[in-house]
């Protein structure tokens, strides 16, 4: 494999934009290449390099995604799990990590009590069996305590395992700069090789999904799940502030990218995007 050709293709996909749009320059480059007497040999060589680039990129992406997940699960099961369980079980009085867990547990216990009182009123439970009701409420409270204690310990395991996984992910990126460069080149060629309609469709899909009218509901679900995953309090104020600021910042960055780069690289894609978005 001639790596200088790979470098050449990679450089062509990352060239800085100039006065002439990228689509027009590609037409002249293609016309010039077809007049080259060695065009057939160069085309075959470029195909080999492109195939190598695709295979290497796919393998690198799979490795980049699978390795942190494997490390996360193994460390949580065999390293952090036993350690956290040992220290957590030493203090059985610690059940909740934050007030949000308490509120959810108390609300669930209250609903259970209301259900029992409802069953008493409709005659499914004898009114004289107060000890039975008390025992069922006590058992429910113990079950909730065990459930939320497990959730709290699981949150600590998630924090430790996720930090380790992020460290592994960053170390892979740092130690494999060549594979990362090949992946960047592959993504650039893949994106810029799309038709104008496909580019406009992906732009509209991305913007509507992350910064569109219905995106705040999705962001709210994601933030609540992340806070619960790490055992953090589910503050409504924090969630609302995040929803009101982050999509705006993301939308600004996206519009700047369209104005600064895409408008020069593919003006027709921008025009198609505006026509489809109207």
Write out the DSSP string of 127-185. Answer: TT-HHHHHHHHHHHHHHHHHHHHHHHHHHHHHHHHHHHHHHHHHHHHHH-HHHHHHHHH
pLDDT given at position 28:
63
| pLDDT value, residue 65 | 94
**What integer pLDDT is reported at residue 9 of this predicted model?**
46
Contacts made by residues 134-139, CB under 8 angstroms, sequence distance 24+: 137/109, 137/112, 137/113
Of the candidates 37, 39, 43, 40, the one whose C-alpha atom is nearest the C-alpha of residue 9 is: 43
Give the model's pLDDT for residue 275: 76
Q: Measured between alpha carbons, how far apart are the two ends of the chain, in Å?
A: 48
**pLDDT by position in tens, the chain (length 278):** 444 444 444 444 444 445 555 556 666 666 666 666 666 776 778 788 888 889 999 999 999 999 999 999 999 999 999 999 888 877 657 889 999 999 999 999 999 999 998 988 888 877 667 788 889 999 999 999 999 999 999 999 999 999 999 999 999 999 999 999 999 989 888 887 888 888 888 888 888 888 877 788 889 999 999 999 999 999 999 999 999 899 889 889 988 888 887 777 777 777 877 776 66
- What confidence score (pLDDT) does residue 61 get? 95
Residue 89 and residue 150 in contact, taking contact as beta carbons nearer than 8 Å: no
Q: 94, 70, 92: which is closest to 231 by C-alpha?
A: 94
Q: Could you give the CA distance from residue 148 to residue 160 in angstroms, rounded to a whole number?
A: 19
Neighbouring CB atoms inside 10 A of 101's CB total 22
């Amino acid at each position: 494999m001639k790596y200088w050709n790979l470098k050449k293709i990679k450089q062509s996909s990352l060239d800085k934009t100039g006065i002439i749009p990228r689509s027009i320059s590609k037409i002249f480059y293609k016309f010039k290449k077809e007049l080259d007497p060695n065009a057939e040999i160069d085309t075959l060589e470029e195909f080999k390099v492109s195939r190598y680039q695709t295979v290497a990129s796919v393998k690198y992406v799979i490795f980049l995604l699978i390795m942190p997940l494997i490390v996360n699960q193994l460390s949580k099961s065999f390293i952090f799990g036993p350690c956290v369980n040992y220290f957590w079980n030493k203090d059985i009085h610690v059940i909740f990590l934050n007030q949000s867990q308490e509120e959810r547990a108390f609300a669930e216990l209250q609903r259970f009590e209301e259900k029992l009182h409802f069953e008493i009123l409709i005659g499914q439970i004898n009114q004289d069996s107060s000890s039975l009701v008390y025992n069922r409420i006590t058992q429910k409270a113990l079950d909730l305590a065990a459930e939320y204690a497990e959730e709290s310990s699981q949150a600590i395991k998630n924090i430790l395992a996720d930090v380790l996984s992020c460290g592994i992910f960053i170390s892979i990126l740092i130690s494999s700069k060549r594979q990362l460069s090949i992946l960047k080149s592959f993504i650039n060629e893949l994106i810029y090789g799309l038709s104008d309609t496909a580019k406009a469709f992906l732009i509209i899909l991305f913007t509507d999904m992350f910064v569109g009218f219905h995106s705040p509901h999705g962001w709210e679900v994601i933030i609540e799940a992340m806070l619960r995953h790490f055992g953090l309090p589910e503050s409504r104020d924090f969630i609302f502030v995040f929803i009101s600021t982050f999509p705006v910042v993301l939308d600004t960055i996206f519009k700047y990218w369209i104005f600064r780069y895409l408008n020069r690289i593919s003006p027709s894609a921008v025009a198609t995007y505006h026509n489809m978005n109207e």
